[in-house]
Structure 1
Amino acid sequence: MRTALLFIDVDDFKNINDTYGHLVGDAVLKELAACIKNNVRIANDAVRFGGDEFVIVLENVSAEEAYLVAERIRSCAGELEFSGAESAFHITLSIGLIEGAAPLNELLEKADHAMYTSKSKGKNNTTIFSENSADGAFHMKLN
């Protein structure tokens, strides 16, 4: 068991801010932070990395266990409902995951790459970084 890193991005967050305003965008981030807090162990580090991105460092977990954590967070976020001026909406997340023993900056770079692969493959899913795949990521999506 090694360290795993999750790189989480709210899909279409700029559109949420542009459509519903920054107060609603802030509410989205606060509720997502609660989902993250409720789905990781106290000993794990979870931080807002910037804008609509969060990074979680999971210690002593396998890639499979980290994937399950990512999916719980993604599911929790998808169940949240937010009210805009004229309609309610839900959010989705694109998540990149890397498991391994490497310097933090290398893990961040690879998890970020996996997250962008999630976005390019249709958003609302978790991608595990893999050195062996053609694009450097192994795409997984559970519905």
Structure 2
Amino acid sequence: MPARRRPRSLLAAATLVAAVATTGSLTYSLVLGYPPCELCWYQRILMYPLVGVLAYAWYTEDYGVYRLVLPFCAGGIALAAYQSYLQRVAGGTCTLGGCAAIHVRPVTIPNQSLVAFCLIALGMVVLAVRGRRA
């Protein structure tokens, strides 16, 4: 694969992860009826814009987008990790709602959010490192 295509593939993969996470969160709340807690709302605030930002970066081949995306991911990782921690310590419930108690096999909703933010962040770090090498 040509070197020029690889960064674009990273943007496409990150866009896909953000889109799946957004679709999943909307499915949990609107279709399955799981009410999001306060921490989930904050994670949504950080995830939803990433779909558009990453898709636009993919379309325009803007490989410097990691500067915008990484702060969103850092906040999302912190919130999701904290909510996952609450889940473990509080015996399966979140003190701010209850969605952490909902297990969607094999992991809970906050764990899924944590994985999504970590995958996007990893893609952006790789994009940043490759950009510095070029």
TM-score range, shorter chain: 0.3 to 0.5
Question: Could you say which structure has the higher strand fraction?
Answer: 1
Asked which structure has the greater RCO (Cα within 8 Å, sep 6+), the reply is 2
Computing the radius of gyration over CA atoms, which structure comes out larger, 1 or 2? Answer: 2
